[in-house]
Amino acid sequence: MLDTEPDLSSNPFSHIDFTSGAVAAVSGGSDSTALLLLLRHHLDRTAPATKLLAVTIDHGLRSGSAAEAQAVAKLCARLGISHRILTWSGLKPSTGLPAAAREARYRLLSEAAQAEGVGMILTGHTADDQAETVLMRQARAEGLARDEGQGHAEMAGRGLAGMAPATLYDSRAWIVRPLLGLRRAALRDVLRRENVGWADDPTNADEAFERPRMRAALADGNGAQRIGDALALAAHEGRARSQLGLAAASLIGDFATRLSCGLIRLDPLLLNTGDERAAVYALRILLAMAGGIAFLPDQARSETLFGRLRAGFLCATLSRTVVDSRRSGIFLRREARGLPSAAAITDGTVWDGRRRITLNDSSSALLIAPFGAAAAKRLAKGDGRTPPSLMRAALAAEPALWQAGECLDLSGDSRAPMAVEVRPVVAPFARFLPSFDLAPARAVAGLIGAAPVPPLPFSGHSAG
């Protein structure tokens, strides 16, 4: 327990619900070490029985990383906190190393949380990290506007909201960032008062990487002003992104209908709601969902498609999604090109970016592959309102079980083994769902029958 109350303006954990416990990501640096001390102090006072596990990820990228992990283990032992060291093993990429390390870190943390029956991971990201993130994304957006046009810049500009207070990872664990409102200097003051040291990762000063270059640039005379401006921009853009998401979610609820497996109908009235920005955003989300794409389609191309839909009937493809506009409506389905080949079923995988596979039987005789045109023609059942050709085309791109060359229907055929479940996922938010985007993610999940988004681990507060 801290000997004195932290010199902080407010408790950064007061709005977090710790009922189901927490995993704290602790690297040994100042930010995560301060997170651990402050968190332990908070729980000792408010919920001493809370399950708390500290996890250190050893990326194996530096000779001193193992010793740093052991130092965290010793600190946790002194504080009476359970601790685990997980190692990122295997080959490391020669390019894109920071992104690969981040993905490995979140995967390992999520696995540790799942093993403990905990649905929340806390990280030590600070206001300094937030400002650096926003300024880096701002520079990229300005570069895209200069080099590729305003549409690309607007898409990149979504990132100006910075890191969300909470992000759902892989549809199963919330990554919560309680220190986003605190400066690194204040956290280090806490550590000094408690006589607790920390490790300085030399890669944080290696200007071969983008973030250290930005950190160095903010160390000059006007750094404090730039950081303040960046944080104000993040707050503004976060609110705007949440509001746009709420509007898009409302439009999806009013104008989108799931007709059958893989087939969505949009009411043409969506094109003339009076809120074109929200309507285009809703269309982008639905295109990414139908096509199984992890990123929203290009803003400029989406706006062009929206304009063409207003002008008359058409059939076009964007982000692997066929957009078929007819008198009876605007229909979205996965295009037939680029579908996965037949493969053995693996539990927990996401097929084609669109369907999550749950396997309760390890039978090796089953394969998963698209229905294909022949099976779809035999199995697709018309509803008297939807053109049969659309239903067949949509079903042909859906996954089916195959056994000894025979297609077993996963959409309700009694021959399909109950040991295998295939459930839709909201593709653009399946891996990372920032709390800014909760409203549209929930709207699409309800539309297609995906698993409900777990509730935010906050007590009566919005994370948008």
pLDDT 10s digits, 190-235: 999 999 999 987 777 777 778 888 888 888 878 889 999 999 999 9
Is the pLDDT at 258 greater than 80, yes or no? yes
Indicate whether 168 pLDDT > 70.
Answer: yes
Q: Quick one: average pLDDT of 39-44?
A: 96
Count of residues for the chain?
A: 464
Q: How far apart, in whole angstroms, are the C-alpha atoms of residue 404 and residue 366?
A: 8
450 found inside a domain: no
- Edge-to-edge strands, sheet with 52-58: 82-87, 52-58, 22-25, 120-122, 173-176, 166-169, 432-434
Query: How far out from the chain centre does Cα 218 lie?
Result: 28
pLDDT of residue 362: 58
Q: Is residue 452 part of a domain?
A: no
Q: Is residue 410 part of a domain?
A: yes
Grouping H, G, I as helix, E, B as strand and the rest as coil, residue 92 is coil
Average pLDDT, the chain: 89
CB of 384 within 8 A of CB of 354?
no
CA 333 to chain centre: 23
CATH code, domain with 28: 3.40.50.620
Q: Is residue 70 part of a domain?
A: yes
Predicted local confidence at residue 144, as pLDDT: 67
Residue 303 has pLDDT above 80, yes or no: yes
pTM of the model: 0.91
pLDDT score for 148: 61
- Pairing relation of β-strands 52-58 and 82-87? parallel
> Predicted confidence band at 8 (pLDDT cuts at 50, 70, 90)?
low
**What local confidence, expressed as pLDDT, does residue 92 receive?**
85
- The 10s digit of each residue's pLDDT in 129-143 is 999 999 999 988 887
Give the DSSP per-residue string, 376-437.
Answer: HHHH----SSS-HHHHHHHHHTSEEEEETTEEE-SSS-TTS-TTEEEEE--GGGSSEEEGGG
Total domains in the chain come to: 2
The pLDDT-based confidence of 414 (bands split at 50, 70, 90) is very low
Domain enclosing residue 400, as ranges = 343-424
pLDDT digits (tens, 9 = 90+) for 60-95: 888 888 999 999 999 999 999 999 999 998 888 888
Domain final residue pick, 185, 200, 219:
219
Shared-domain flag, residues 44 and 179: yes
pLDDT attached to residue 462 = 47
Which residue type sits at 126? T
3-state DSSP assignment of residue 74: helix
For residue 78, tell me if it sits in a domain.
yes
> Bridge partners of 85?
56
Residue 408 lies in a domain: yes
pLDDT digits (tens, 9 = 90+) for 313-340: 999 999 999 999 999 999 999 999 999 9
Torsion sign over Cα 423, 428, 430, 434: negative
Dihedral sign of CA atoms 186, 189, 194, 195 in order: positive
pLDDT at 219: 85
The answer to whether residue 451 scores a pLDDT higher than 50 is: yes
Can you list the alpha helix ranges (DSSP code H) found in 126-275? 127-147, 150-157, 184-193, 210-217, 223-255
Q: Are 405 and 372 in contact, with CB atoms under 8 Å apart? A: no
pLDDT tens digits, one per residue of 415-444:
455 667 889 999 999 999 999 999 999 999
